[in-house]
Amino acid sequence: MLCFSVFHPALAVCPLYWTPFEDSCYVILQDKQSWASSMAMCQAYGAYLVEISSDEENEFVRGMIRETHSPIWGHWLGATDEYSESHWLWSHSGRALYYSNWEEDQPDNYQTSQHCAVMHNNGRWDDGECDLTLKGICERDGKSNTAVGK
Ligand SMILES: [Ca+2]
Ligand SMILES: [Ca+2]
């Protein structure tokens, strides 16, 4: 007997509750936590706080946030300048932000204490204090077979 499977080369294969976009999978964490705790929680899922590299990906993530109808101030992204002020990096890959979507006049490093990136509900980015308790957005490779909780 022949077995057929539908193959979508452009779309990730994701675990339950994760949403595919291009070749990655995404989920919004249920619990509000600091940036570092959110990153650790993503890593426990074999993922990392989301790294956004295009308008299309930014719109996708904004859409995920919109679906939660969450009134919170922002959701954690994977970018930080805590290692070197105003040098923003994606923490997981270590790459500089060649794409960004900051709010006007952001990042402002308010009171010299804002070093972690958030996305507001409108899709624009802001820097916030890393110990704020917010929901993180995790991203993982949709092609790898890495087990959840690797
Ligand atoms: Ca900063
Ligand atoms: Ca700010």
In order along its 150 residues, the chain shows pLDDT tens digits of 455 555 555 678 899 999 999 999 999 999 999 999 999 999 999 999 999 999 999 999 999 999 988 778 999 999 999 999 999 999 999 999 999 999 999 999 999 999 999 999 999 999 999 999 999 999 999 975 544 444
Strand partners, 33: 134
The pLDDT score that the predictor gives to residue 72 is 85
The pLDDT score that the predictor gives to residue 4 is 53
Ligand nearest to the CA of 124: 2
- At residue 98's C-alpha, the angle toward residues 13 and 87, to 5°, is 115
d(CA 76, CA 32): 10
Ligand nearest to the CA of 106: 2
Residues 6+ apart with CB under 8 A from 29: 38, 41, 42, 135, 136, 137, 138
Ligand nearest to the CA of 112: 1
CA of 122 to the centre of ligand 2 (A): 15
Domain at 23-141, CATH from 3.50.50.60, 3.30.499.10, 3.10.100.10, 3.40.640.10: 3.10.100.10
Q: Where are the domains of the chain?
A: 23-141
